[in-house]
Structure 1
Amino acid sequence: MTKARSFKSSAPRKSEVPPGYVADPNQGPMLRYEASLPRLPVPTLSSTAAKYLETVEPHLTREQFAKTQAAVNAFVGSEQGKILQERLQARAADPSTKSWLSEWWNETAYMGYRDPVVVFVSYFYVHVDDKTRPTQAKRAAQLLKAILPFRALVESGQLEPEKVRGAPLAMSSYEWLFHSCRYPTKPSDTARKFDPTKHNHVVFARKNKFYKVALADKSGRELSAAELEAQIEKVIALAGTEKAVPVGALTSDNRDIWTDARAALLAASPSNAASLEQIESAILVICLDDTKPVTREHASWECWVGDGKNRFYDKHQLIVFENGKSGFLGEHSCMDGTPTLRLNEFVLAALAHGKVDLGSAPADAQLEPPQELIFTLDAPTKKNVSEAEARFDELVGAHEMEVLHYEGYGKEFIKGHKASPDAWAQMVKQLAFHKMFGRPGVCYESAQTRKYQLGRTEVIRSASKESKAWAEAMLDASQSDEHRAALFRKAVSRHLQYAAWAADGQGVDRHLFGLKKCLKEGEPVPEIYTDEAFSKTNHWELSTSQLSSPYLDGWGYGEVVPDGYGLSYSIGDHYIRWTITSLKLRTAELKHFLAEAATETRAMMERAAAEAKKKEAEKAKL
C-alpha cells in the first residue's frame, strides 16, 4: 500500500454502546467489539414450530395443513427432535465455535454451490450519474481515488463499526472487501485474502484484456486522480479496437467446470499462473466497457451480467461505461450487501460533495506504464473459453429484467400513514402476486443478523395469514376501505414482528436448517422435512431484499428458483423502485401489477383515512 495515512477514528465513548459490549484494546476501532458480540442463539423447538405452522398455513389447504400440523407436533414431541436440538445447542455452546451456523451456511449457500455465480449469486448496483458527465477514464479514476481512503480505513482497522440502535455489528467480513478472490475448487470453493502492502495495484478489463496498474509510484506516493486518469487512457489506447479471447468468461461458468478449466489454463503455460494472481490479488477489477447504456434497464442489465467476457466474476468489480455511467458487481460468497453498500455510498458521497483528495503529482513523476497480463492459450483452453461463452449466452439469454421506478409516493407518504415503509412495500408485492396468480407468493425477505458474531442473514417469511386476508379483501369489491385498512395494519404489524424475530436470530429457516445438519449418517429424516409444506414454503418464488440509498439508481440480482422472481427494491422519499428478474415468466406483467397494487394501496389508505376523519368530525358534533 501507499505511505501511511493519518486518520482520526472518532471512536465512541464506552457509554455509547449498550451494556455487555467490551472494547478490545488490542484491536483497532473496526473490530474492537467483535469478541464481545453475542453469539447466534438457538431458538426453542416449540417457538420455531409455532412460527413455522403460522407461516405455512396461508399456502396450504385445510387437509394439507392438518397433515403438516401432525408432522410438526410429532417432531417437537419426539426423542429425535430433542436429540437434534441438544446437538445443535452443544455446537452453539462450544467455546471454539463463534457461530453454530456460519460454517454450515457459507458452505451450503455459497462455497459448495456449483451453479454459476453470475445470475445466481452476484448482485449489482447502478450508481447515480455524475452530473458533470465525466469521460470514462475520468469517472473510473475518480471512483478509484475515492476508494483508496476507504481501503486504508478497512485495512488499518480504523473504520468505525456499523451500529443498530447503538449496538455494534459484526465487521469481520470487511476483510474480504479488497485484495481478495474466490477460487473454484472441488467439491467446494475457497477464498483467499492477499496482503495489500505487497499487491498495491488495480486491474482494468478492456476489450476482454487485463491490465495491471500500480496505485503508487516507486517512492510509495499514491497516484493522483489525474495520474490514474492518464494511466486509464493508456489502458484504453493499448487495448485498441480488437477484442481478445475472453479468458474472463471462464469465471462465468459452473464452478466444477471452471475448476477444471482453471487447471487447464494453468497447464497451458507457466506464465498464466502469474497473470491470474495479478488479477486475483488486485484491490478489485475495474471493467472499462465499450457500451453506453442510457435507460435504467440497460444500465442494470450491463452491471448485472454484461456480455460475460469483459469481466472477472470471482472478484468485486467496478463497471464504468463509455458515457461515464458506472456501477458495481458484488462477489457474494464472503460478505453480504451492507458492507459493499457502505463502500459505494462512501465513494459516491465523497465525490458528490467534493470531499475526495484528488492529489497532485510532481512535474517529474515517473510512472510505470500499464502492464498487460498476457495469457498463453492452447487449443483445449480456447475450447473451454468458447464453451463457457456459449453456456453464458444460453443462461443469460433465457432471462429478462424489468425496472419499475414508481413515483406515486415513497417513504414520506407511507410514514404519514404511520406505517413501516418496508412492510408496506412487502404488502404491495403480495397484492401484486395475488392479482397475477390468485394466491399468496412464497416470499423470502433478507434480514441481517450481524448483531451476532459472524452473522449474515435470516429469512423474513413475508407471506402471512394477515397479508393473505388483506390481499383478498382488496380484490373483493364488497369490502369497505375501513375494513381493508384495518386488515392492512394487522398485516404490517405481523410483518414487523417477524422481521424483529429474524433479526434476533429467532426465525424459522436457519434453525430448521441447523437441526437437519445435526442428523448423523443413517439416521432417518424427520417427517417435518419430507412433508410437502416444507419444500413448498421454502421454494422462494419471490426472493426479495431492500437496500436504499440516494446514491444508487438501481440494484438487483437473479431469481433463486426457476419458476420465481428476483425482486430487489429501494424506497426513497418519493419513490419505490423494484428491479425484477426471471426466466421470462411474464416479468412485464408483474411490473404492471406492482404499479397497480402500489396505487390501489395508496388510494385505499387515503379513502379509509378520510372516512375515519369524517366519522370523528360527526362524533364531535354530537
Structure 2
Amino acid sequence: MLVPRRIATHSTYSHFARPLNYSSSFRAFVIDNSARPSPSFLLSNGARAFHSNQPKMSPAPKWSEWRLSPPSATPSGSITFRNQAQLPRLPVPELDVTLEKLIESCRPLAKDENELEEFKRKVSVFRQGLGGKLQERLVKRRESEGMRNWIAEWWDNDAYMAYRDSVVVNVSYYYGFKKVPQAPSSVSNPPTSDPAYVAASIIITALEFRRLLIKGLLEPEPAGKEGELCMESFKWAFNANRIPAKPADYAVKVREDSKEGQHVVVVLKERFYKVPIVDQEGREFTVEEMRRGLQGLLDKVEKEGKGEGEGVGILTGLNRDTWTDAYEHLIQDAGNKQVIDEISKSAFVVAFDQHRPEPAMEKVEGKGGKNMSGEGIRDFSERLWKAGGQGKGIGEGANRWWDKPQQWVVFVNGESGFIGEHSCMDGTPTARLSDFVSKRLLTRQPVEVGSSDPAPKSSPTIEALDFHVDAQTKHAIEEGKKEFEKHVGGHEVFYLHYGRYGKEGIKRNKTSPDGWVQMAFQLAYYMTHGKPCGTYEAAQVRRFQLGRTETVRICTSAALAFAQAMTTPSTTLSEKRSLFTQAVAQHGKDMKAASSGLGIDRHLFGLKHLFLNAEEASSPSAELFQDPLLKRSSTWTMSTSQIFIEHSPAYGWGRVDPDGYGIPYMVHKEHLQFSVTCERHMKGREFIANLGKAADMIMDMMEASAADAKA
C-alpha cells in the first residue's frame, strides 16, 4: 500500500507521500540541518544508539545519522540485498516535460479558460525565470558525491518527521485479518475464543519473517522487467520506534539479532509488559509455549480484577509537539526512560484490546446480488484504525504505542489486525509481512493441549513495564484522552465488498484492472458531487535507491470527459466506450511515467526546496506555486492507494483533504474491496453507494459494447 496522509496546515506537503498543496511558506531554505549539534548518543559507526541514563534530553540527530545506516542484522551481500548496489538513483525529470504535463493535469480543474491561461502565463514566467536555475541545482544535487536519492531527506522530513499532527488517522494505517482458527482446547475448559493463542501465533509467525530478514533469505520483490525493488525499508520493520522531537521527529532501532532486542511488548489495559521471545539458552519459544505465557498474564490480570496502567500510550497519539513536551518531561525519570527504551527496542508491539468487534457483512444493493457491507465490518475497521467505534468514545487509544512501525491488535474474541506507523516504511513492505503472517495463521493447525505433541519446555517470564507518572504527566494524559477522542471522533469509515466481478472479469475485457477501478472512482465522485476533483494515486518508485512513492494525477481531461459522458443520457454507447478507453490509456501512461521517477509532483517538490532565499521565493518565478489552479489540482480531495493481502477483509487509512475521501482498495480475483474514510460532514455513505453503481455502469457498458460487436 502506498497510503496518503495529510500534512499539517503550516507545511507545504502532504502525507503518505504527496503534497497537499504548494501554497505554504518556503520552509526549505530556512532549515539548516548542518547547524544541528552532533548528538552524544551516536555510535562510532554512525548508528543511532538508545538513551543513556542521563536525565538531560539529548539533541535530535541529523537525518543522515539516523536514517542512512540503521543497525541491521541482514548481511549486505545476502539474497535480500543482492541488488542494492546496482539500483539506479532516482532521476530528475526534464523541466519542460514536467511543466507541459503540469498544464495538462490542471486543465480539467480550471474554472474557465481565463484561469487556465493565467496559469500558463505563470508557468512560462517560471520556465524563463528561475526554473532553469532551480533545475540545475536539482541536477547538481542528484549528481553530488554520496547522494543516493535526491528527495529522500526532504521527503522523510516534510511528509513525516516534521509533520506535527497526530499520527493516528493522519499517518497510521491498518489491516484486518480473517479470523484465525482457535485452539481446540486450552489448559482448562475449551474457550469460545482464545486471544492468547491468536497473539502467540502472530508473534511466532512474525518472528519467522524476521528470521528470514536476519539470515538475508527474504527474496527481493520483483520490479517487472526493470529488475528488483529496493529492500532498504525492510531494515525498519522490526526493533524500531519513532521518537518525538522538535522541529522534527527521528527514528531509532537496534539490530534484530542483538541481545537487547529479543522481546516483544504486550499492552493490556493500558499497561505495558516485556515478553521474551527466547529462553535462557537462546531458543525461540514455540506457539504453545508463548500461548501459555500470555494466558498466564491474562489470567493474572483477570483474577486480580485490576491491572490498569497509567495510560501513557495515549500521549503517542497526540499532536507531535504535545507529545514531545510530555516525552521530555517523562524521561527525566530514569525508570521511565528505561521503559520507553524497552518499547523502542522490542521487535514489535501486541495490543490486547478488550472489545469484541464482529466483522460480519450482509448483502447490500448491487447487480449480481453479491455486494456486501455492514456495521460489523465498519466497527472492526474503526477499532483497528483509531481504537474506537462509531460514537463509542476513545475506545482503547491509550492501549497502543502509536509510534511503533509494527503493532498487532488482538481482540478478546480472537479477531486480529495490524497497525503500521508510516514514517520509515510505506505500505508495500508491511503488506508483504501481513500477507505472510495471515496466510500462515489460517493454515497452521492449532495444537491441542494434551495431544501427542511434545510438552512445552518452558514459557516466557513476563515483566511489567510500569511508568512513574507524576501530577504533570497525569494531567497530560487526562487532557490527551479528551483531545484524542475529539480527534478520532470526527472521522468515519465506510466499506464495500463489491462482488459482481474482480480482476479476472476486468481482464476479460482487455483492460487494466487498476485503470478500470480508478475510472470508477472518477465516475462515483462526479455522480456524488457533480464536479471533478484533484485525485492522487500512489505509485511506488522502489526500483530506485531509497525509493518511496510518486504521485499519479488521476483527474485528467480524458477521465473528466468519461465521467461526464456516463452521466449524460444522450451520449452513445460507442462514445462512452471510446472515452473510457482513452481515460484508461492516459492513466496507464501516467502510471508508467510516475513509476519510472518521471512524475510531476516530486519534481515540483524538489524545485521548490531549492529557492535559496526569501528574495527568490518572492520573485515573479515563484508566483506559480501560489496559483489557485495549482493549489486546486494538488489538493487531494480523493486520495487512493492499492495493496493486496489475500486474507485481509479490512484495510484503511485517513483522508488527506478534510473535504475529501481516503480510498484504500484491493483488487481480488473475483471481487473488489473498498474502504472510504472521511470526516463526518462529507457524503461518505452516498459516495460508496455510488461507487458500487459506477462499477456496475462500467461493466454494463462493456458488456453492451461487446454484445453490439457480435450483432
- Settle same-fold status: TM greater than 0.5: yes
Question: What is the CA-CA distance between 1:431 and the residue it aligns to?
Answer: 0.4
Report if the CA contact (8 A) 2:665-2:672 is conserved. yes
CA distance, structure 2, for counterparts of residue 249 and residue 383 of structure 1: 12
Hey, what does 2:118 align to over in structure 1?
A: 67
Report if the CA contact (8 A) 2:182-2:414 is conserved. no
Report if the CA contact (8 A) 2:290-2:459 is conserved. no
Q: Gapped runs of 5+ residues in structure 2?
A: 1-73, 184-192, 359-375, 388-394
Report if the CA contact (8 A) 1:350-1:356 is conserved. no
Find 2:553's aligned residue among 461, 466, 471.
Answer: 461
Find 1:200's aligned residue among 243, 256, 262.
Answer: 262
Find 2:200's aligned residue among 141, 148, 156.
Answer: 141
Find 1:598's aligned residue among 695, 698, 702.
Answer: 695
TM-score by length of 1: 0.92
- Percent identical pairs in the alignment equals 38
Hey, what does 1:251 align to over in structure 2?
A: 316
Find 2:287's aligned residue among 205, 225, 229.
Answer: 225
Question: What is the CA-CA distance between 1:358 and the residue it aligns to?
Answer: 12
Find 2:209's aligned residue among 118, 129, 150.
Answer: 150
Q: Gapped runs of 5+ residues in structure 1?
A: 1-23, 615-622
Find 1:530's aligned residue among 626, 638, 663.
Answer: 626
Hey, what does 1:274 align to over in structure 2?
A: 338
CA distance, structure 2, for counterparts of residue 335 and residue 47 of structure 1: 30
Report if the CA contact (8 A) 1:567-1:581 is conserved. yes
What's the secondary structure of 1:432's corresponding residue? helix
Hey, what does 2:35 align to over in structure 1?
A: none
Hey, what does 1:15 align to over in structure 2?
A: none
2:112 matches 1:31: no
Question: What is the CA-CA distance between 1:108 and the residue it aligns to?
Answer: 0.3
What's the secondary structure of 2:616's corresponding residue? coil
Question: What is the CA-CA distance between 1:573 and the residue it aligns to?
Answer: 1.4
Report if the CA contact (8 A) 2:499-2:670 is conserved. yes
Q: Deviations over 1:247-299 (max 9, x none)?
A: 100000000110010112223x3211111111111100001111111122111
Find 1:297's aligned residue among 378, 390, 402.
Answer: 378
CA distance, structure 2, for counterparts of residue 228 and residue 582 of structure 1: 39
Instruction: Spell out the pairing of 1:579-598 with structure 2 (5 A cutoff).
Output: 579-584=675-680, 585-598=682-695
- Evaluate the alpha carbon distance shift between residue 347 and residue 527 of structure 1 in structure 2; reply closer, same or farther with a 3 A threshold: same
Question: What is the CA-CA distance between 1:356 and the residue it aligns to?
Answer: 11
CA distance, structure 2, for counterparts of residue 409 and residue 493 of structure 1: 21
* Letter matched to residue 539 of structure 1: T
Question: What is the CA-CA distance between 1:95 and the residue it aligns to?
Answer: 2.3
Q: Deviations over 1:472-499 (max 9, x none)?
A: 0001100111210111011000000000
2:649 matches 1:553: yes
Hey, what does 2:138 align to over in structure 1?
A: 88
* Letter matched to residue 124 of structure 2: N
Question: What is the CA-CA distance between 1:30 and the residue it aligns to?
Answer: 1.1
Higher relative contact order (CA 8 A, sep 6+): 2
2:540 matches 1:448: yes
Instruction: Spell out the pairing of 1:506-517 with structure 2 (5 A cutoff).
Output: 506-517=598-609
Report if the CA contact (8 A) 1:549-1:572 is conserved. no
**Count of residue correspondences:** 589
What's the secondary structure of 2:542's corresponding residue? coil
2:251 matches 1:191: yes
- Higher mean alpha-carbon deviation, 151-160 vs 452-461, is at 151-160
What's the secondary structure of 2:531's corresponding residue? coil
2:673 matches 1:577: yes
What's the secondary structure of 2:255's corresponding residue? coil
Find 1:432's aligned residue among 521, 524, 529.
Answer: 524
CA distance, structure 2, for counterparts of residue 480 and residue 222 of structure 1: 66
- Higher mean alpha-carbon deviation, 560-569 vs 506-515, is at 560-569
Hey, what does 1:107 align to over in structure 2?
A: 157
Report if the CA contact (8 A) 1:68-1:531 is conserved. yes
CA distance, structure 2, for counterparts of residue 498 and residue 415 of structure 1: 20
CA distance, structure 2, for counterparts of residue 117 and residue 533 of structure 1: 29
Hey, what does 2:166 align to over in structure 1?
A: 116
CA distance, structure 2, for counterparts of residue 503 and residue 447 of structure 1: 6
Q: Deviations over 1:415-439 (max 9, x none)?
A: 1111111111110000011011111
What's the secondary structure of 1:381's corresponding residue? helix
Hey, what does 2:231 align to over in structure 1?
A: 171
* Letter matched to residue 343 of structure 1: L
CA distance, structure 1, for counterparts of residue 575 and residue 419 of structure 2: 44
What's the secondary structure of 2:705's corresponding residue? helix
Hey, what does 2:579 align to over in structure 1?
A: 487
Report if the CA contact (8 A) 1:202-1:286 is conserved. yes
Report if the CA contact (8 A) 2:637-2:657 is conserved. yes
What's the secondary structure of 2:676's corresponding residue? strand
2:381 matches 1:321: no
